[in-house]
Amino acid sequence: MRNRLVTRTAACAVALLGVAVAAAAQTPAAGGQAAAAAAGSAAGSAAGSAVEKPTYISIPLEIAVSRPAADVWKRVGKFCDIGEWLRIPCTITSGRDGEFGAVRSVANEVLVGKTELSYTYTQPVRNGRPYNLYHGTLEARPVSATTSKIVYTLFFDNSMLPDDAARETDRTRRIAQFTTALENMKILAEGGTLPPAPPRGGGAPAPAGGAPGR
């Protein structure tokens, strides 16, 4: 009788252990669920910004200036001088003007490279929008002891535009926008004064290759 009772007790214990193991296997731990959800969210965010087959292009523009490069850079080369020569509001929202990591209010552009007479900026990833890796480089390049040229190079991915016609329209728009910017920089660097800015919303230029004009 005692042996029979021990056998039944052991059998019940094994059965209960099996149920517990099965339940644990079917119910992930809360930490595991949170990690899986976070991973899924990150993957979704990356998928929303990454471009599968980018087509990178560059647009180099330049203009001659009758001033030494150092004088040109002193006049138009601060990170937020864009507000004057592109006729748009600009403030430094993080960091200090001219230092690595400075952020300006124009499309939240970040200064990521610089030399004595140049800087390069980029625009950050935005949720839910394809990332076009937009970069711009502005440089005052010496030509002689008394002359120089301002070089502005744009670099970005235009693969998200629907067709070749749209890509050419976008390229033409950017060339017109930044040619005007170069002309304004030349006027300022040579000691001139810009004419009154056109009214906003009509012929005014869009921000530098960024948010609205990107």
Over the stretch 127-160, which tens digit does the pLDDT of each residue have? Answer: 888 999 999 999 999 999 999 999 999 999 999 9
CB-CB contact of 73 with 140 (8 Å): yes
Select from 99, 137, 144, 141 the least CA-distant residue to 121.
137
Q: What is the CATH number of domain 54-189?
A: 3.30.530.20
Per the listing, tokens 């991973």 go with 39
Share of the chain above pLDDT 70, in %: 71
CB count in 10 Å sphere of residue 144: 8
Burial class (CB in 10 A: 0-12, 13-18, 19+), 149: middle
| Cα–Cα–Cα angle for 102, 108, 110, rounded to 5 degrees | 35
C-alpha span between 38 and 42 (Å, rounded): 6
**0.75 cut: is pTM over it?**
no
CB-CB contact of 54 with 133 (8 Å): yes
**Of the ranges 8-17, 144-153, 161-170, 195-204, which one carries the lowest mean pLDDT score?**
8-17
What was the pLDDT predicted at 197? 79
Model confidence pLDDT, tens digit, residues 61-118: 999 999 999 999 999 999 999 999 999 999 999 999 999 999 999 999 999 999 999 9
CB count in 10 Å sphere of residue 83: 16
